[in-house]
Structure 1
Amino acid sequence: MEFYGFIHFGMNTMTDREWGEGHDDPAAFDPAGLDADQWITALKSAGMTGVILTCKHHDGFCLWPSDVTTYTVASSPWRGGRGDVVAEVADAAWRHGLRFGIYLSPWDRTEASYGSGTAYDDFYVAQLTELLTRYGPVFSVWLDGANGEGPNGKRQVYDWERYYAVVRELQPDAVISVCGPDVRWCGNEAGDTRPDEWSVVPRALQDAERIADRSQQADDGTFARLVRSDDRDLGSRAALAGHEDDLVWYPAEVNTSIRPGWFHHPAEDAAVRSVDELFTIYLRAVGGNSGFLLNVPPDRDGRMPDTDVAVLERLGRRIEDFWARRIAATATVSSGTPGDVATAWLGGAGFAGAAGLARSLLAPGGGREPWRPDDADPRPGVTLAFARPRSVEAVVVCEDITQGQRIEHVVVRGRRAGRWTTLAAANAVGYQRILTFPPAEVDAVLVEVTETRDTPVVARVAAIEAAS
């Protein structure tokens, strides 16, 4: 899905808080202008493929009429007490072709049973069941481990395995993210990416309690821009040493907010991230074997602010323009059969991307099978030859991840006047690696796989022309 949205909205939006303490008067929730279609249209304009809604944050206020608590929209004046934000967002998402996901905070500062053990787990599972059975297909259940009450506060040991089992039973196609076994948190909320992101990692990284310990523990805005220097290498051979018989496929997700906070605050209206900054994060995340989850918070009236909407629209055009600048090329490979070449490279594999743009990474036509070089070839390569010299600023390489993640080093070279020069290099590739470099005038690009774990299986390769 590459790029999808987070929407933080709720009682905190009304009280101008990041972490509400719970027990705020439900009468404070009355977003008169709430327009879920406006939210989804804004996200879609940026090229997003899905949306995850904060159905309940740590304060415990529910954006749907839950049967197990009165602290919900049903107790508010909004829509005369008959409203359901979750239903409106889910319906709008499906109307506009986006997938719908849920965030349900395990921490609840209002619910009396929190900290009691099984009784609270029963309460949480009841709410999870409501969300997974009332609103259609769910693509993601996004869980974090925040618990900021401290050593003298309530302590609930979350029954993660029970929560996972409920998701598996009720929404078997949903991925369980962050404090879950399917999608891994990149380790910060700043949008920072690792130089090399590996999807194959030691099973110990799935430990939800470990992730919870590293989650935000206080209502502190600095956490959203905190980047740790540890855990920069999770999947190299050195990192996997001693774990070779206990590995899992646990791909990464990069999450950050378009503003300093996760909820809307009027004081941050002048601090919306620029298109340039967001596009850089996009290239590094979506182009670094990760999903990109960008939060965009509506205001207390229930609308996404004009500034945020304008940035999303410009970001979507920027992304679409990037993919539209892929260069038609004649492709040859250094190993494999001629039939492999014609099928794999002259018929690009199409996939959905920015703004729903179906982009084949090479000339249209032909098949969609990935290319697998000869097993004995120590340095397989793909050459993209252009009809004339072109100014190139990026090369895209994609593995067929149904076969795993195998490439450990790739080198990109450009040819000018018969001479080859190195333009870029990387280690991990995975689903997609976008290698950027200063624009270079070349008439061909060579992508060589110089180190692998087993024979590489390459799905797509493309060269991107420099912006004029």
Structure 2
Amino acid sequence: MTDGRAPAAVRPSERQVAWQAMEFYGFVHFGMNTMTDREWGEGHDDPAAFDPAGLDADQWIRSLKSAGMTGVILTCKHHDGFCLWPSDVTTYTVASSPWRDGRGDVVAEVAEAARRHGLRFGIYLSPWDRTEASYGSGAAYDDFYIAQLTELLTRYGPVFSVWLDGANGEGPNGRRQVYDWERYYAVVRELQPDAVISVCGPDVRWCGNEAGDTRPDEWSVVPRGLQDAERIADRSQQADDGAFARLVRSDDRDLGSRAALAGHEDDLVWYPAEVNTSIRPGWFHHPAEDGAVRSVDELFDIYLHAVGGNSCFLLNVPPARDGRLRDADVAVLERLGRRIEGFRARRAEATASVSSGTPGDVATAWPGRGRMPWRPDAADLRPGVTLTFTRPHLVEAIVVGEDITWGQRIEHIVVRGRRDGRWTTLAEANAVGYQRILTFPPTEADAVMVEITEARDTPVVARVAAIS
């Protein structure tokens, strides 16, 4: 079993810290597939089919913001190769369509709308292109891809995420492009140094499914081998099969415990998880799915497990063929936002006391981030934070977060509630990281205590909150 000090010494980059604090942001799948009612277009569809007469990027962004999202990632080009901006290296773009008389730019409209409404903007650029003739040729296609990546990273302002998957659905008998990932990464680092490179990239790890499922314990410090883009690609979707969107594998459930890290102590990286799923069964809008929008209850449960499970939550919301989100999606997003806001508003006012050291602003740093975390004395073998209420509360959740600029150190916590002088256990967890939200049946208590029973090094706690 590995010593805890090696993983405790691994720290996130500034871009990873800023990304984690975003917590919840949106994906917008929109393009030629929207017009043809497909998930994976085959390429070469007539650009004349792209004419979303009512396209309203402000409506998209307002709706995402109403759900509490902090950013948006747009599918600038999906596997079919149709570009939502007027690329200089292909004619298969919006410039060849009747939309906006061939002078439109969806990427620009979404980026500008995001800025107007205070959301950060990100891009998805599919490495697989079913239209481009150079696909499968090696360096020539890499040149093409780099040219498009450069256009997107230089024309539309700051980008918070470059979201890359390893899709190559042509299989063993089709064209095969060996992607030059390192070259792609270098361009992103040069042109948008604050952007995280997600999934098939070194900054943000795919959770391993598209169903919104979160591991029981999500660790940010993992073996470097998990960054292998080819391995990730092999586990990504390989066919236009809607069942993949709800597939949850039972393997790889433990990526970062001491047992999982044994033998990798000298080759660890900070590689935090993102949980992604769609508000509908498909990633693109399909009229037949208008009655299958996920419920607020289901989405809020995913939110609690993702944002409350040391991950960020990426929720896809696809506009329809006319360029607008459907009313059902908009309504669910608004209700989800109210649900999240209401959950945060139920933070019980409390006075914090600690087993050693000074509590800083640990009891008032949620929602949001405090400036003075709590660090117990190194000799404190069972450090704990006690929140005492002015009157008994029905408590139903505890929020705990580490100051991840010091790494991920907590390995086990126990939450107890006090009533009439007696303490009872309410919840336990292993990994904490940026944030852990533990829910339990409503229990009346005049105080709650979060005790850290195992840690890799002296813990540094950013926030502890009780939800009543």
Q: Same fold judged by TM-score > 0.5?
A: yes
Q: CA deviation at 1:341?
A: 8.2
Q: 1:344 to 1:26 in 2, by over 3 A?
A: closer
User: What is the alpha-carbon distance in structure 2 between the residues aligned to residue 12 and residue 204 of structure 1?
Assistant: 34
Question: TM-score, normalised on structure 2?
Answer: 0.94
Q: Secondary structure at the match of 1:444?
A: strand
Contact kept? 1:343, 1:369, Cα under 8 Å: no
Q: Secondary structure at the match of 1:332?
A: strand
Contact kept? 2:358, 2:374, Cα under 8 Å: no
Q: Secondary structure at the match of 1:373?
A: coil
Q: CA deviation at 1:457?
A: 0.3
User: What is the alpha-carbon distance in structure 2 between the residues aligned to residue 365 and residue 58 of structure 1?
Assistant: 38
Show CA shifts across 1:285-325 (max 9, x none): 00000000000000000000000000000000000000000
Q: CA deviation at 1:338?
A: 7.4
1:40 matched to 2:43: no
Show CA shifts across 1:68-101 (max 9, x none): 0000000000000000000000000000000000
Show CA shifts across 1:348-391 (max 9, x none): xxxxxxxxxxxxxxxx9997310100101111001001111100
Q: Percent identity?
A: 90
Contact kept? 1:288, 1:432, Cα under 8 Å: yes
User: What is the alpha-carbon distance in structure 2 between the residues aligned to residue 341 and residue 392 of structure 1?
Assistant: 18
Q: Secondary structure at the match of 2:112?
A: helix
User: What is the alpha-carbon distance in structure 1 between the residues aligned to residue 25 and residue 86 of structure 2?
Assistant: 26
User: What is the alpha-carbon distance in structure 1 between the residues aligned to residue 171 and residue 195 of structure 2?
Assistant: 32
Contact kept? 2:72, 2:119, Cα under 8 Å: yes
2:389 aligns with 386
Q: 1:79 to 1:391 in 2, by over 3 A?
A: same
User: What is the alpha-carbon distance in structure 2 between the residues aligned to residue 447 and residue 365 of structure 1?
Assistant: 20
Q: CA deviation at 1:335?
A: 1.2
5+ residue gaps, structure 2? 1-21
Show CA shifts across 1:22-61 (max 9, x none): 0000000000000000000000000000000000000000
Q: 1:341 to 1:259 in 2, by over 3 A?
A: closer
May I ask how many residue pairs the two structures share in their alignment?
447
User: What is the alpha-carbon distance in structure 2 between the residues aligned to residue 407 and residue 313 of structure 1?
Assistant: 35
User: What is the alpha-carbon distance in structure 2 between the residues aligned to residue 130 and residue 340 of structure 1?
Assistant: 44
User: What is the alpha-carbon distance in structure 2 between the residues aligned to residue 287 and residue 453 of structure 1?
Assistant: 21
Contact kept? 2:418, 2:445, Cα under 8 Å: yes
User: What is the alpha-carbon distance in structure 1 between the residues aligned to residue 287 and residue 254 of structure 2?
Assistant: 38
Q: Secondary structure at the match of 2:362?
A: helix
2:17 aligns with none
User: What is the alpha-carbon distance in structure 2 between the residues aligned to residue 203 and residue 292 of structure 1?
Assistant: 23
Q: 1:295 to 1:378 in 2, by over 3 A?
A: same
Contact kept? 1:344, 1:371, Cα under 8 Å: no
Q: CA deviation at 1:11?
A: 0.1
Q: CA deviation at 1:343?
A: 10
User: What is the alpha-carbon distance in structure 2 between the residues aligned to residue 308 and residue 366 of structure 1?
Assistant: 30
RMSD of aligned residue pairs (Cα, Å): 1.7
Show CA shifts across 1:423-444 (max 9, x none): 0000000000000001001110
Show CA shifts across 1:181-224 (max 9, x none): 00000000000000000000000000000000001000000000
2:436 aligns with 433
Q: Secondary structure at the match of 1:100?
A: strand
1:5 matched to 2:26: yes
User: What is the alpha-carbon distance in structure 2 between the residues aligned to residue 196 and residue 78 of structure 1?
Assistant: 47
Q: Secondary structure at the match of 2:38?
A: coil
User: What is the alpha-carbon distance in structure 1 between the residues aligned to residue 33 and residue 369 of structure 2?
Assistant: 53
Show CA shifts across 1:139-160 (max 9, x none): 0000000111011100000000
Contact kept? 2:362, 2:463, Cα under 8 Å: no
1:279 aligns with 300
User: What is the alpha-carbon distance in structure 1 between the residues aligned to residue 423 and residue 124 of structure 2?
Assistant: 50
Q: 1:83 to 1:344 in 2, by over 3 A?
A: closer
Q: 1:47 to 1:23 in 2, by over 3 A?
A: same
Q: 1:341 to 1:202 in 2, by over 3 A?
A: closer
Question: TM-score, normalised on structure 1?
Answer: 0.94
Q: 1:365 to 1:272 in 2, by over 3 A?
A: closer
User: What is the alpha-carbon distance in structure 2 between the residues aligned to residue 179 and residue 277 of structure 1?
Assistant: 28
Q: CA deviation at 1:337?
A: 4.4
User: What is the alpha-carbon distance in structure 2 between the residues aligned to residue 337 and residue 441 of structure 1?
Assistant: 27
User: What is the alpha-carbon distance in structure 2 between the residues aligned to residue 56 and residue 7 of structure 1?
Assistant: 11
Q: Secondary structure at the match of 1:201?
A: strand
User: What is the alpha-carbon distance in structure 2 between the residues aligned to residue 211 and residue 217 of structure 1?
Assistant: 12
Q: 1:294 to 1:418 in 2, by over 3 A?
A: same
Contact kept? 1:106, 1:158, Cα under 8 Å: yes
Q: CA deviation at 1:279?
A: 0.1
5+ residue gaps, structure 1? 346-363
Show CA shifts across 1:90-136 (max 9, x none): 00000000000000000000000000000000000000000000000
Q: Secondary structure at the match of 1:462?
A: strand
Contact kept? 2:361, 2:370, Cα under 8 Å: no
User: What is the alpha-carbon distance in structure 1 between the residues aligned to residue 86 and residue 353 of structure 2?
Assistant: 59
1:360 aligns with none
User: What is the alpha-carbon distance in structure 2 between the residues aligned to residue 105 and residue 146 of structure 1?
Assistant: 8
Contact kept? 2:369, 2:462, Cα under 8 Å: no
Contact kept? 2:363, 2:387, Cα under 8 Å: no
1:85 aligns with 106
2:13 aligns with none
Which residue of 314, 337, 340 maps to 2:361? 340
Q: Show the 5 A alignment for 1:52-131.
A: 52-131=73-152
Structure 1 residue runs of 4 or more that deviate by more than 3 Å after TM superposition:
337-345, 364-367
Q: 1:79 to 1:454 in 2, by over 3 A?
A: same
Q: 1:328 to 1:271 in 2, by over 3 A?
A: same
Q: 1:225 to 1:112 in 2, by over 3 A?
A: same
User: What is the alpha-carbon distance in structure 2 between the residues aligned to residue 221 and residue 206 of structure 1?
Assistant: 26
